[in-house]
Chains A and B, each alone.
Chain A
Amino acid sequence: MAVPRSRVDEIRNCITLTEYGVRNVHTTDFPGNYPGYDDTWSQKRFEKNFRINIINMDDSTVEFDMIGIDCAIANAFRRILLAEVPTMAVEKVFIYNNTSIVQDEILAHRLGLIPIKADPRLFEYRNSGDEEGTEIDTIQLQLKVKCTRNPKATKESSDPRELYVNHMVYSKHIKWIPIGNQADHFGEAVIGPVHEDILIAQLRPGQELDIVMHCVKGIGKDHAKFSPVATASYRLLPEITFLEPIEGELAEKLKKCFSPGVIAIDVLEGKKLARVANARLDTCTREVLRNEELKHKVKIGRVRDHFIFSVESTGILPAAVLVSEAIKVMMSKCQRFLNELDLAQME
């Protein structure tokens, strides 16, 4: 007996959340699986159905919808945002003097994690085996702080801010030392840490730090300090359908089962009727499936090809630029193998 077309559409388009499990998780729309459907890849059909809607955007975050794409590719973009978009970060730390109580290696680790505001697209990767570093692949930074007693402090005060000078080492103490022609090349653009108020170490009188740092270009796959995003994640658009109309007191109960704003109650001819106002706000808690009366009247699921991306940048590059760079990295991966095939073909 043939399955009714609407059931097939449900399996193809929707991930169903049931009380004890999740149904129809995997993409099944490959050619030959469903008679009557043409699932062959068609760039024209893809371009017709594909949409990107930007929900909100500022310098450090962007939230946008990607509709009409498959999970494998959306996930590839997410993975690239986390691990393969290059940035500059401190790699080599030359410690000339460290008399603070923070150990050398701990200090070096902390310095590596500080985000450095330098456009990685203007730099090259350092060649392996090159110890010195040239002006095209290295940024040199210096941290030189000495803590002394404050001569103007009163006798009785116990506040360290009054008693000592330079007792907190912040990232604003890190200075850029241009090498080669970097000064003319970058000129007005100041290279340094993104945030000024990152606490690196604490000192007491007599202790000092004299450190030179080299920043290189790297990717998150190598070390997490190179990751350009605070985080990048996506979720699928939730979908709530009523199997029968829900009215009266049951409508009120239904409204309480979902996050606020998801279900709205209309009053028609004195009767309360529930409708789905904004499924986007739902967090898919499945609370409605715990209610004996409601669990057979509602079907919750997720739309398989509607991704709500949320990307937050650490401040090195604006979030929208990061997404563009991630897509370019993906294209360069494909190009690399196409070139390899062409090379092999020629031989």
Chain B
Amino acid sequence: MATEGVSRKPVLEMVQAEGADESCVTYVMHDEDHTLGNSLRYMIMKNPEVEFCGYSITHPSESKINFRIQTKGGLPAIEPFRRGLTELNDLCQHVLNTFEMSVKAYEQQSFEDMA
């Protein structure tokens, strides 16, 4: 890792047991809680390559979550992690577009009703 002048607060760390291959990894995500944890867990569980996915909050006073992914068939765990994040992002984008369209349609409708 390149040395930096100012120490950066960690955002994402990986914890892996010795001897385990890349398919079982625990990610430590800082400054996160159930908001991202539960929704990301749902998205990753929807992936058929994933054997196990779960998260836990280590201590309520610390805002970090331990996110564990185990995959079938030797697939590196980073793949479903990245795919889950991307799919969640696309889902939110679609929700945003649909919501804004509905708001416009509702405003249009009420404008027409008033006229």
Chain A residues in contact with chain B, CB under 8 A? Answer: 27, 30-32, 39-41, 43, 46-47, 50-54, 57, 64, 66, 69-70, 72-73, 75-76, 79-80, 84, 320, 323-324, 327-328, 330-331, 333-338, 340-341, 344, 347
Restricting to B79-104, which residues have a CB under 8 Å from any CB of A?
81-82, 85-96, 98-100, 102-103
SS of A interface (majority): helix
- The A/B interface has a contact count, at CB < 8 Å, of 113
Q: Mark B14-50, 1 if CB is under 8 A from A, else 0.
A: 0000000000000001001011101101110111100
Contact flag A73-B46 (CB < 8 Å), given A64-B102, A324-B100, A333-B32: no
- Most central of B34, B87, B88 by chain A CB within 10 Å: B88
Collect the chain B residues with CB atoms within 8 Å of residue A40's CB.
46-48
Is B42 a contact partner of A72 (Cβ separation < 8 A)?
yes
Collect the chain B residues with CB atoms within 8 Å of residue A27's CB.
42
Chain B interface category by residue count: 35 or more
B2 within 8 A of A: yes
Chain B residues in contact with chain A, CB under 8 A? Answer: 1-2, 11-12, 29, 32, 34-36, 38-39, 41-43, 45-48, 78, 81-82, 85-96, 98-100, 102-103, 105-107
Is A80 a contact partner of B35 (Cβ separation < 8 A)?
yes
**Alpha-carbon distance between A127 and B43 when the two chains are bound, in angstroms:** 34
**Alpha-carbon distance between A4 and B6 when the two chains are bound, in angstroms:** 62
Collect the chain B residues with CB atoms within 8 Å of residue A323's CB.
99
SS of B interface (majority): helix
Partner of A57, one of B12, B43, B96, B103: B103
Is A338 a contact partner of B102 (Cβ separation < 8 A)?
no
CB distance from A67 to the nearest CB of B (A): 10
Collect the chain B residues with CB atoms within 8 Å of residue A347's CB.
1-2
**Alpha-carbon distance between A80 and B39 when the two chains are bound, in angstroms:** 12
Closest residue of chain A to B14, judged by CB?
A344
CB distance from A326 to the nearest CB of B (A): 10
Collect the chain B residues with CB atoms within 8 Å of residue A39's CB.
46
Is B46 a contact partner of A344 (Cβ separation < 8 A)?
no
CB distance from A265 to the nearest CB of B (A): 32
Is B36 a contact partner of A333 (Cβ separation < 8 A)?
yes
Is B94 a contact partner of A338 (Cβ separation < 8 A)?
no
Extra contacts, 20 of them, besides A40-B48, A328-B96, A334-B85 (Cβ < 8 A), are A31-B46, A31-B48, A41-B46, A41-B47, A43-B90, A50-B94, A50-B98, A52-B98, A54-B102, A70-B42, A72-B42, A73-B42, A75-B39, A76-B38, A320-B103, A336-B11, A337-B11, A338-B82, A341-B82, A347-B2
Closest residue of chain A to B89, judged by CB?
A334
Collect the chain B residues with CB atoms within 8 Å of residue A51's CB.
98
CB distance from A310 to the nearest CB of B (A): 15
